[in-house]
Amino acid sequence: MPAHSLFLLFLLLSATHPCPLILTEAAGGRWQLLQKSIGITAMHMQLLNNDRVVIYDRTDFGRSNLSLPEGKCRHDPNELVLKTDCTAHSAEYDVLNNTFRPLMVLTDVWCSSGAVMSNGSLIQTGGFNDGDRRIRVFTPCSDCDWVEVGDGLIARRWYATNHILPDGSQIIIGGRKQFNYEFYPKNGAPNLYNLPFLVQTNDPGIENNLYPFVFLHIDGNLFIFANNRAILFDYKGGKVVKTYPTIPGGDPRSYPSTGSAVLLPLKNLQGTELEAEVLVCGGAPKGSYIQATKGDFVKALDTCGRIKITDSNPQWAMESMPYARVMGDMILLPNGNVLIINGAGAGSAGWELGRNPALNPVIYRPDGKAGSRFESQNPTTIPRMYHSTAILLRDGRVLVGGSNPHVDYNFTTPLFPTELRLEAFSPPYLDTENNNLRPKIVSPSSKATIGYAKKLVVRFQVGGTLAEKLVSVTMVSPSFTTHSFSMNHRLLFLGNEKVTNAGTATYDIQVTTPPSKNLAPSGYYLLFVVHQDIPSEGIWVQIR
């Protein structure tokens, strides 16, 4: 499109849209400013099955820019800053209507963790100060608010990681000065279990093993990565099943060195020999945190390590990213690619310890040829530094928020001030030139219930010519994202057993649902039809 046409389109959109689009070249994705301010900073985010996103920051930084409704105030004698606070520190963002409303948390949720249970409710655990042993529940409904259960945790959980398990419970692992794990709901005495691996990966005075990367392995055990190495852990028996090699170079990848990680898409689910791979990208070289506190901002790591965790003798394969990145988020896209977004090119996690904002997202194509899997995307104009977040939405966009919450929500003094804007990144598959190839799901209807190891027929429409061999169905579990890690995030390719014509531009694709809860714990997933790498809008399905 000629430059003058782009300018005219921008003027038109600015006049008709309250939050004008930031137009960028179609080939590299595009950015959209959704809200100039949601009143709080998006330190933690979770998409729920009503297409609303629960967001929260922390309570001990003073008044936010979002008032609680109907004159409500939070009265907390243990609070460190304001004993009485009439502003919100949590919000619910309505994706479909681009609106938001304040929510009320009762204790400090700073640097907490969480997971969505099989019934769709978000269980949020821990935090800081009087919130560090709390459990809070948020149920998706039109006017629900946080319900605080109380001190339901045995240990103080601050910078911990949660994961849903095959039996529907969740495990809560680690946290500051916590070298152990526990479960929710409780499973009987002793209720608290030691994890020596967290002691072994703890760098004295720095840690570098907080918010460990945890993934449910296809055999039901847990892959746990902390600092620069990983184990396969039998959480039921409390035993290390396998010790993986140290990532080449030996640099830490966990908070505060803060790289990110994903479990790459699971495929061939009905096969006899399933494979699973983990990708760990970015972070900060050893010593970067201490150096940053002294004003020396070391260049971040520009490497990714990829390891097949199902191999009998697994080894890391290293790749180089287009940009060095610390505090980046990694998001699984519906077509199986990985989006790497947010963060900085130098320094470390922590307030004002990052430099050189990483404005350009990168798409990683796991099935591409080694050495050519990365593709740089168009940049945002908003630095997303410490405490930024990103999550996948049902329409295929990625919601991006947060960055550098400061005391009193400081917008002027810091180099990177408190950031309250919310934006969306649209990957290239959402370009209008792909409209004819983009599938539209006709059935089943959203919120359908599916079982395990069952035949499933998905009806969809495509306006252009269908390439039958290039159609597949994927299932994605929405993530709880904070501190550059998307907890519980996994994607499964259900494949393509056969495609049949069902009418004008309408087709049926038959697949088989996942065979076990080790592959897909029960709960709500986003289901997509993908045609030539272009995903449909997703529908919600509940597998049980």
How confident is the model over 313-352, as pLDDT tens digits?
999 999 999 999 999 999 999 999 999 999 999 999 998 9
Taken in order 204, 205, 206, 210, is the CA torsion positive or negative? positive
Is the pLDDT assigned to residue 403 strictly greater than 60?
Answer: yes
What is the pLDDT at residue 188? 80
Task: Note the pLDDT of residue 19.
Answer: 42
Rounded to whole angstroms, how far apart are CA atoms 250 and 303? 12
Query: How is residue 530 written in tokens?
Result: 């993908």
Q: What is the mean pLDDT of residues 393-417?
A: 91
Structure tokens at 432: 């209008």
CA distance 467 to 463: 12
User: What one-letter code names the amino acid at 293?
Assistant: T
| 190 contacts: CB under 8 Å, gap ≥ 6 | none
38-77 residue pLDDT tens: 999 999 999 999 999 999 999 999 999 999 999 999 999 9
207 confidence band (pLDDT: 50, 70, 90): very high
- pLDDT score of 504 more than 80: yes
The rounded mean pLDDT for the chain is 93
Name the percent of the chain in helix, strand, coil, to the closest 5. 10, 40, 55
Please choose, from the candidates 341, 327, 353, 171, the residue with its C-alpha nearest in 3D space to the C-alpha of residue 255: 327
SS3 11: helix
Give every CB contact of residue 364 below 8 A, 6+ residues apart in sequence.
279, 281, 304, 337, 338, 339, 340, 373, 374, 375
d(CA 30, CA 380): 9
Predicted confidence band of residue 27 (pLDDT cuts 50, 70, 90): low
Give pLDDT tens digits for 262-281. Answer: 999 999 998 888 999 999 99
Distances 367 to 232, 337, 475 between C-alpha atoms, Å: 25, 8, 18
For residue 408, the model assigns a pLDDT of 81
Query: Residue 367 CB: number of other CB atoms within 10 A?
Result: 10
Q: How far is CA 461 from the centre of its chain?
A: 29
| Mean pLDDT, rounded, for 11-19 | 36
Query: Which residue reads 């028996």 in tokens?
Result: 237
Give 76-100 as a DSSP string.
-TT-SS-SEE-B-SEEEEETTTTEE
Is pTM beyond 0.85 here? yes
Is the confidence at residue 22, as pLDDT, over 80? no
What is the rounded distance in angstroms from the CA atom of residue 532 to the CA atom of residue 306? 25
Mean pLDDT of 401-408: 88
Residue-level pLDDT at 193: 97
* Cα–Cα nearest to 85, from 59, 111, 108: 59
Q: In which residue are the tokens 């290293």 written? A: 318
Exposure string of 225-235, with b = 16+ CB inside 10 Å and e = fewer, is: bbbbbbbbbbb
Q: Say what the pLDDT of residue 17 is.
A: 37
Q: pLDDT category, 405, cuts 50, 70, 90?
A: confident
Return the H-helix or E-strand segment holding 171. Answer: strand 170-173
Tokens for 17, please give them.
Answer: 């849209």
Number of Cβ within a 10 Å radius of residue 501:
11
Please tell me the predicted confidence (pLDDT) of residue 257.
Answer: 97
Strands 471-477 and 523-531: antiparallel
**Per-residue confidence band for 407, with pLDDT thresholds at 50, 70 and 90:** confident
- CA angle, residues 124, 125, 130, in degrees to nearest 5: 120
Q: What is the pLDDT of residue 6?
A: 36
pLDDT > 60? residue 23: no
- If we measure between CA atoms, which residue out of 391, 380, 384, 389 comes closest to residue 417? 384
Rg (CA), the chain: 22
Helices and strands per DSSP (H, E), number in the chain: 3, 45
Instruction: Evaluate the CA torsion angle 464, 430, 283, 55 in order and state its sign.
Output: negative
What Cα–Cα distance (Å) separates residue 172 from each residue in 144, 147, 154, 469?
Answer: 25, 19, 11, 41
Q: Residue 14: pLDDT above 60?
A: no
Asked whether residue 527 carries a pLDDT value surpassing 50, the answer given is yes
Q: What is the pLDDT of residue 25?
A: 40
Neighbours of 504 (CB within 10 A): 6
Quote the pLDDT of residue 150. 87
Give the percent of the chain with pLDDT over 90.
90
User: Could you give phi then psi for residue 129, rounded to 5 degrees?
Assistant: 55, -125
- Residue 24 confidence (pLDDT) above 60: no
